Amino acid sequence: MRDYPEAYKNGLANDAAGTPDVRTPAIAVSGLSKRVADASGELTILQNIDFTVQPAETLALVGASGSGKSTLLGLLAGLDTPSEGKVLLDGTDIFALDEDGRAAFRKAKLGFVFQSFQLLAHLNAVENVMLPLELRGDGDARAKAEAMLGRVGLGSRLRHYPKYLSGGEQQRVALARAFVTEPPLLFADEPTGSLDAATGESIIGLMFELNRERGSTLVLVTHDPAMAARCGRTITISAGRLA
C-alpha cells in the first residue's frame, strides 16, 4: 500500500481519475548548462536544458553529431559535472552529493552503456559483467553474468578479453554489464551503433523487456529512427539546446 499524503487519503486532492499522481520523476533536469575552456576561450556544449522523465518511461535522445547528446547523458548519470543546473534522479539531487555519494548512487540504481564501451582490458568478458554485481556483494555474480552474456549472444565468448572481441561483441559485453544488475535507470549511448541489424534488434528487445519487466526507465541516445520510434518520447538536441 502506497503511503499517500494525508490530503489524498481524505479524498481531498484526487485527480480526475480518482488516482492521486504523487510519483517522483525518475529524472528531473533543470537549467542544465555545460561550458568548457578551449583554445579560443569558452565553448558552450549545453545550454539551459530542462526536461522530466517519469518512471518506466522510454526516451530517445536524438540530434546531429556534436550536438551534445553524450555530454548530456554523462551529466544525467553524474559522470560529469555541470556548469549550472540540477539533475534529480528519483528525487535525489546528484550534484549535491560528493563524488563518493554519486558513485554509491550509480552503483545502486544506474546502468550506463558508453558510446566507447569502456570495458576493463585486464578483465575477460564474464569478469567485466561480474564487476557491478561484485561491487554490490552479490554472491551469485558469476552465474548471473554468464546468463546475461548468454542473453546477448556471447555464451561462447565468456573468457575472451576485450582486445580479442569484435566491436559489436564488446558493445554487447558493455550492454550485459549495464543490464545485469537490473537497474531502475538505464542510460545507453548509441547502444546498437556497432551491431548488425539482427543483433541490434535483439539488444533493443532486451532493453525494452527490462523496461517492461522491471519498470526500468530508459534513456537511449540514438541515430537510428527505428529505435527512436520504439521509445515513448523523443527529445531532439540541436547545438546544445532542446529543439
Ligand X SMILES: Nc1ncnc2c1ncn2[C@@H]1O[C@H](COP(=O)(O)OP(=O)(O)OP(=O)(O)O)[C@@H](O)[C@H]1O
Name the residues that contact Mg ion, by CB under 5 A. Answer: 70, 115
Please choose, out of 23-31, 37-45, 52-60, 143-151, the segment that lies near ligand X by the rule CB under 6 A: 37-45
From 22, 43, 135, 243, residue interacting with ligand X (rule: CB under 6 A): 43
Q: Which of 78, 80, 65, 79 is nearest to 35 (CA)?
A: 80
Q: What is the DSSP letter of 15?
A: -
CB of 72 to ligand X, least distance (A): 7
Burial of 27 (0-12, 13-18, 19+ CB in 10 A): buried
With cell 549472444, the residue in question is 153
Among residues 28, 59, 60, 69, which is the contact residue for ligand X, using CB under 6 A?
A: 69
Q: How far is the CB of 241 from Mg ion (least distance, A)?
A: 16
Closest to 44 measured CA to CA, from 54, 33, 53, 52: 33
* 192 binding ligand X? (CB under 6 A): no
Which of ligand X, Mg ion, none binds 104 (CB below 5-8 Å, type-dependent)? Answer: none
User: Considering only CA atoms, which of 127, 239, 121, 129 is closest in space to residue 181?
Assistant: 129
User: Which range binds ligand X by CB under 6 A, 38-46, 90-98, 100-108, 152-160?
Assistant: 38-46
Can you tell me the distance from the alpha carbon of 135 to that of 157, in angstroms, rounded to the nearest whole number?
Answer: 23
Identify whether the C-beta of residue 175 lies closer than 8 Å to the C-beta of residue 188. yes
SS3 category, 146 = helix
89-118 residues in contact with ligand X (CB under 6 A) are 115
| CB 191, min distance to Mg ion, A | 12
Q: Cα(167)–Cα(179) distance, rounded to whole angstroms?
A: 18
Asked if residues 48 and 217 have their Cβ atoms less than 8 Å apart, the reply is no
If contact means CB under 5 to 8 A according to the sort of partner, which of ligand X, Mg ion, none does residue 71 touch?
A: ligand X
Among the listed residues 5, 22, 50, 66, the single contact to ligand X using CB under 6 A: 66
Nearest CA-CA partner of 193 in 209, 204, 182: 204
47 binds, options Mg ion, ligand X, none, Cβ within 5 to 8 A by partner type: none
**Residue 101, CA distances (Å) to 95, 98, 212 in order:** 9, 5, 29
Q: Which is nearer to Mg ion, 115 or 124 (CB)?
A: 115
Give the whole-angstrom CA distance, residue 157 versus residue 183.
24
Q: Is 215 a residue that touches ligand X (CB under 6 A)?
A: no
- Identify the residue whose cell numbers are 556548469: 83
Nearer to ligand X, 63 or 184 (CB): 63
For residue 70, state whether it binds ligand X (rule: CB under 6 A). Answer: yes
Q: Which does 15 bind (CB under 5 to 8 A by kind): ligand X, Mg ion, none?
A: none
Among positions 47, 58, 71, 181, the unique one binding ligand X when judged by CB under 6 A: 71
- Which residues sit at the interface with ligand X, rule CB under 6 A? 36, 38, 43, 45, 63, 65-71, 115
